[in-house]
């Protein structure tokens, strides 16, 4: 991950990071504030489970579920100096995501948006279609048997 080279010096120096706790860093943004931050170069990270992300998400947001290897994945794909905006279903999830990112050295974190706010404001929404496993198997068998193109 991109943050690894910076972790050794940070670990040797001790816990100097931000004086604020994750809870103190949290700021729930309005849709308008979120859009301004995106326009200024911030990156949206949606920390909801994949199924919720797939059902509707902020266009352009990265899907990195909180309950999994959240901080390593974010640290792998984003620069440690990135301005990170979270999309979270609850304040507790936003706080936990902030805590995890603080631990690996991210400092431009803590701002978050509830996905319902985005939807209710009528902003563009992305979706990822899901297919049932049995239908995927059936369509694969049909292709092998020459029944479909």
Helix-strand-coil split of the chain, %, nearest 5: 45, 15, 40
Going by pLDDT thresholds of 50, 70 and 90, the confidence category of residue 144 is: low
Q: Supply the DSSP symbol for 89.
A: S
| pLDDT of res. 147 | 54
Q: Region 13-26: what's the mean pLDDT? A: 74
Going by pLDDT thresholds of 50, 70 and 90, the confidence category of residue 4 is: low
Asked if residue 64 lies in contact with residue 22, where contact means CB atoms within 8 angstroms, the answer is no
Residue 105 has which token pair? 């050295």
% of the chain residues with pLDDT over 70: 77
Distance CA 46, CA 58 (A): 8
Q: Say how many C-beta atoms besides its own lie within 10 A of residue 36's C-beta.
A: 12
For residue 142, give every residue at least 6 positions away whose Cβ sits within 8 Å of its Cβ, in sequence order, or none.
Answer: 148
Asked if residue 61 lies in contact with residue 46, where contact means CB atoms within 8 angstroms, the answer is yes
Asked if residue 6 lies in contact with residue 80, where contact means CB atoms within 8 angstroms, the answer is yes
Q: To which H or E segment does residue 74 belong?
A: helix 70-77
Residue range 28-86, pLDDT digits in tens: 999 999 999 999 999 999 999 999 999 999 999 999 999 999 999 999 999 999 999 99
Distance CA 143, CA 117 (A): 42
Burial of 61 (0-12, 13-18, 19+ CB in 10 A): buried
| pLDDT of res. 49 | 97
Q: Is the dihedral of CA 74, 78, 83, 87 positive or negative?
A: negative
Q: Helix H segments across 40-90?
A: 50-55, 70-77
Q: pTM for the whole thing?
A: 0.80
Residue 6 has which token pair? 């910076």
Identify the residue with better confidence: 75 or 10. 75
Residue range 96-114, pLDDT digits in tens: 999 999 999 899 999 999 9
| pLDDT of res. 138 | 58
């Amino acid at each position: 991950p991109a943050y690894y080279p910076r972790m050794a010096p940070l670990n040797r120096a001790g816990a100097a990071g931000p004086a604020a706790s994750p809870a103190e860093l949290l700021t729930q943004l309005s849709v308008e504030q979120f859009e301004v931050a995106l326009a200024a170069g911030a990156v949206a990270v949606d920390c909801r489970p994949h199924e919720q992300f797939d059902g509707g998400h902020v266009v352009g947001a990265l899907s990195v579920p909180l309950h999994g290897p959240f901080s390593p994945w974010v640290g792998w794909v984003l620069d440690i100096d990135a301005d990170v905006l979270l999309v979270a279903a609850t304040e507790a999830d936003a706080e936990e995501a902030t805590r995890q990112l603080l631990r690996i050295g991210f400092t431009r974190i803590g701002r978050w948006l509830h996905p319902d706010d985005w939807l209710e404001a009528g902003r563009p929404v992305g979706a990822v279609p899901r297919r049932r496993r049995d239908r995927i198997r059936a369509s694969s068998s049909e292709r092998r048997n020459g029944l479909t193109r």
